[in-house]
Amino acid sequence: MELLKYLKQATNTATNSIKSSQIYRDEMLLNLKYQKAIHGISTHRNNNFSSENIKKIYSEFSDKAEYLQKSIEKLTAKAQNDFSNAYSELEKNARFVTIMLFGRSRTGKSTMMEALTSGDGHTIGIGKQNTTTEIKEYFLPKTKNGEIPTKDALRIVDTPGIEGFDGEELAKMAERYIERCDHIFFLLSDDKATSSELDRFGYIQTQGKGITVLLNIKSFDEDIDLLVEKPEYIFKRDEIEGHNRRIKNYVAKHFDMPEPEVIPVHARAAWMGKRPDKAIATINRNHEILLRNSYIANVEKTIQKFIVEDSVLVRIRTPYDLINGYIISVKNELRPVAGQFRELMDKFKYLKKKV
């Protein structure tokens, strides 16, 4: 299989890039370790002041200093742990080219995954609103017993439904997955591709990863046979073009990145076309036409194109992007606390001069 050659090339690239970045990883972890040990202020309770008022002020300063110092230690300890875990994940999964799938529950995420992997459909329709913790990994080529592959493979990760998170919580959830992936799929359904739905994607920072938007065209099962004879009745050009413009305009406004590709696809028809044994009788007889008219082939071509043309460059950057991302994140989190700490120190020195 020609694609396996490119997956192997991507694995070798990732392994070499991770190895060359380890010196920067070690430096990052060392800096975080030393950041936890902040010196220069004494928390000793000095009871030799003659003025009770000065004693009180000094005690308040000491309490505040201890609080800020512990806050900094807590932030840096968490950053050290999170960064170490994220980097370890990159090392452990270097053999996988990884695509993350984001979207709401009930938009066809599980169906899309079953269609791409020719699954048996056991995950379809069991998604829950506000599912916040469960993820499912799909691998190609498949292994015999469904275990995690030991060799080079494509991994597609179905992430938790984004409706289970709000604002910053959604941003943090997405960050954990995006920093471990090579490409991002955003799944929208044509009945949910509204401005309010797109607003949720505004919280997801892509960290420079490429995005492809999958627009799932949904219809009732009794209408799916129209895809065989009259696909234009399901894939309505004017509606799709409207969704396309709205999605691209939104992404251009919220993300500093090239205009994303938007791929209309009928996930359920694709799955039925690949698994005629699971489809109703009328569909079974025309499953090849149904599969073709579902346009799942366009999604598969996009995945193949990414593996062949883009995965190597992305995998060179990934460990360095991870390190830089954590540097920026730690800096942003520490800046407010460090500012308060410096301000307190200035006041503390001034107080000591006065007494």
3-state secondary structure 111-146: HHHHHHHCCCCCCCCCCCCCCCCCCEEEEECCCCCC
* pLDDT score for 77: 85
Strand order in the sheet with 183-189: 136-140, 153-158, 96-103, 183-189, 210-216, 261-265
So where are the chain's domains? 2-83+330-354, 100-311
* DSSP 8-state secondary structure symbol assigned to residue 223: G
Is residue 130 packed enough to be buried (19+ CB in 10 Å), middle (13-18) or exposed (0-12)?
A: exposed
The first and second tokens of residue 85, run together, are 């875990």
Exposed/middle/buried for 88, CB within 10 Å: 0-12, 13-18, 19+?
exposed
C-alpha 24/C-alpha 306 separation (Å) is 28
> What is the pLDDT at residue 11?
96
Q: Annotate 47-67 with DSSP letters as a single string.
A: ---S-HHHHHHHHHHHHHHHH
CATH topology of domain 100-311: Rossmann fold (3.40.50)
**Paired sense of beta strands 153-158 and 136-140, if any:** antiparallel
Residue 183 is predicted with a pLDDT of 93
**What is residue 245's three-state secondary structure?**
helix
pTM: 0.80
Of 160, 37, 74, nearest in space to 337 by CA: 74
What is the structure's pLDDT at 129? Answer: 42
Kindly give the confidence (pLDDT) of every residue in the chain, 355 residues in length, as a single tens digit, with 9 standing for 90 and above.
688 999 999 999 999 999 999 999 998 888 777 665 554 444 444 545 556 666 666 677 777 777 777 777 888 888 888 889 989 999 999 999 999 998 877 778 888 988 888 876 666 654 444 444 567 888 998 888 878 999 999 999 888 776 666 666 666 666 777 888 899 898 988 876 556 667 666 666 667 788 899 999 987 777 787 888 889 999 999 999 998 988 888 877 777 777 889 999 999 889 888 876 765 555 656 788 889 999 999 999 999 999 999 999 999 999 998 888 888 877 777 777 767 767 766 766 666 666 5
